[in-house]
Amino acid sequence: MFGAGFDLKKLDLSGADAARPFLTPMVWAIYSAIHAITMHGVVRWSVLKFGLGAKNLVDDEKVAKLIKAVLPGHAEFIDKFGPSSYFNVLASLDSQLMIELDNMLAGKEVDKASIEQAVDIVNKSHSLLSKDRTDAQSRDISGGLDGIVRGSTSASDFFSKG
């Protein structure tokens, strides 16, 4: 069976959290978006797996807004294909993450606009994860989603992490 053996409770994100102080805001923001979109899929899969119905399952608009915040050039694609396109967008997010990691390693400066965009992305990621966690709890399938959401972020948070 697809997904057999996956235990959300055993998911260890401590390595990513430990790296955060050493990453640029945009690298962390893109990672947060990938994480939120992936966890959103896990919640959706869990609800379907347990046969709990799909009505009001997810807020697809939150996912779309998050993707558009990271990849504005994909807005038309997201609007056209909706939720079925989210998986395909992960490859583009991965590519964008690699670009940002290269920029970070090259020592490129981080400007105010980039920080503000990163804050927007992280906040949208947290909002999506919070909603998914709440939905999972209301359906009693939250095992492992507790603790994944770490609150919202402001621009000053990025400066105090390192």
User: What is the secondary structure of 45-101 as a DSSP string?
Assistant: HHHHHTT---TT---HHHHHHHHHHH-GGGHHHHHHHGGGGHHHHHHHHHHHHHHHH
The predicted-structure confidence for 23-67, as pLDDT tens digits, reads as follows 999 999 999 999 888 888 877 777 777 666 555 556 778 889 999
Share of the chain above pLDDT 70, in %: 69
CB atoms within 10 A of CB 119: 19
CA distance 33 to 26: 10
Contact 62, 131 (CB under 8 A): yes
pLDDT band at residue 128 under the 50/70/90 scheme:
confident
Contact 51, 114 (CB under 8 A): no
pLDDT band at residue 154 under the 50/70/90 scheme:
very low
The predicted-structure confidence for 78-106, as pLDDT tens digits, reads as follows 999 988 888 889 999 999 999 999 999 99
Contact 31, 93 (CB under 8 A): no
- Whether 158 has a pLDDT exceeding 90, the answer reads no
